[in-house]
Amino acid sequence: MLSVISVGIAFLKGRQFGGKITKNDLERYQRSSNWKKGQFENLIETKMDINLGTMPGLIMRNMRDKRNRTPQDPLAILPLDRKRFQEDIDRPKFIWYGHSVLLLQVKGKNILIDPMFGPNAAPIAPFPSKRFSENTLDIIDRLPPIDLVLQTHDHYDHLDLDSITKLKNKVDHWWVAMGVERHLVRWEVKKEGIKEFDWWDTDSFQELEITFTPSRHFSGRGLKDRAKSLWGGWVIKSEEHSIYWSGDGGYGPHFKEVGERLGPFDWGFMECGQYDKLWQAIHLMPEESIWAAQDAKVDVAIPVHWAGFRLALHPWKEPVKRFVMEAESKGVNVAMPRLGEMVKMGEVPTFRWWEEY
């Protein structure tokens, strides 16, 4: 009996890794100008400062006071009013579910970005990284019809097997970073519904124009597939509105290029959380999130990539506090919605809800 259980666990963890690279995959990746020396590369040099010299200090910091790194109580998520969400389709609206999960509606089309609703951002690790909110997978059952999923990259806190398993028969169109298709196919998403994007690739989705934009990050779900798929952000444009999703990644000149090519933007969803000086090259510090929003010509900046998981050593409230302070000093408009709160274009929620915890 134990051997059967062990095999089952090994099988499930094997599925977590996603799909293996085929010969056809490799030929496709090699046609990208961003594929160099057997992997995808960032536009500028990008290295993390984690080595034998910095590791002891990192371990010591990790062992110190952990009380403020996670909320003492689960973070509540407001229930979805599907009828209200489907009304007034001429005004873009969104609901943020914590970390990097966004339900966005533009021109009546419902788009899910990085739909990681799962309870654990480290499913293959010996110790889980538990979500700050409870029963989030159940949210999928209550979502309105989803027209399109956009996927920025393949990290576990953005691409989740449990979530994809629940979504795969509810969604017909999956637009993803180059290299992510193989994971979805492994998880039985219909291949004909998947479209891969290289940086600056643009396509039309009914009344919308959607572009995959560069970021400064990396990818991989196992020991042998680091940088074997691409990473980036998304721009969604209608005739009247323009929205920027920064994706994960450190500060760099690509933000100004996005602004010059595709800006200005009504909303900019800016990565803000899970940072550290040792990996500043691949995650924005909160102050940099505001600088990036300015570079990209964002009107209202919304911090994401926080309030979901503990994937760094900072207190869980610190990202939004520093984000707001820098925004105030730079005169940048920001919105801080509650988890599950519906926000329509023109509304700017500023209530500091995290102070209730």
| H/E element, 85 | helix 82-85
Answer whether residue 52 shows pLDDT above 80.
no
3-state secondary structure of 141: helix
- What is the mean predicted confidence (pLDDT) over 100-112? 98
Task: Determine, yes or no, domain membership for 198.
Answer: yes
Predicted pLDDT of residue 10: 44
Distances in Å between the alpha carbon of 15 and those of 10, 124, 163, 164, 212?
Answer: 9, 10, 13, 12, 27
Taking only the tens place, the pLDDT of each residue in 111-162 is 999 999 999 999 999 989 999 999 999 999 999 999 999 999 999 999 999 9
Predicted pLDDT of residue 318: 98
Answer whether residue 333 shows pLDDT above 90.
yes
Q: Which CATH number does the domain housing residue 349 bear?
A: 3.60.15.10
Average pLDDT along the chain:
94
Task: Determine, yes or no, domain membership for 123.
Answer: yes
Task: Determine, yes or no, domain membership for 24.
Answer: no
Q: How many domains does the chain have?
A: 1
Task: Determine, yes or no, domain membership for 296.
Answer: yes
Answer whether residue 65 shows pLDDT above 70.
yes
> Which of 64-68, 85-89, 298-302 is the most confident on average?
298-302
- What is the mean predicted confidence (pLDDT) over 332-356? 97
Taking only the tens place, the pLDDT of each residue in 264-316 is 999 999 999 999 999 999 999 999 999 999 999 999 999 999 999 999 999 99
Contact yes or no for 194/181 (Cβ under 8 A)? yes
Residue bearing tokens 């399109």: 148
Task: Determine, yes or no, domain membership for 4.
Answer: no
Residue 58 banded pLDDT, cuts 50, 70, 90: confident
Task: Determine, yes or no, domain membership for 1.
Answer: no
Task: Determine, yes or no, domain membership for 95.
Answer: yes
Q: Which domain holds residue 81?
A: 49-356
Contact yes or no for 122/156 (Cβ under 8 A)? yes
Q: Dihedrals φ, ψ of 70, to 5°?
A: -135, 150
Predicted pLDDT of residue 231: 98
Contact yes or no for 221/156 (Cβ under 8 A)? yes
Residue 4 banded pLDDT, cuts 50, 70, 90: very low
Task: Determine, yes or no, domain membership for 36.
Answer: no
Residue 13 banded pLDDT, cuts 50, 70, 90: low
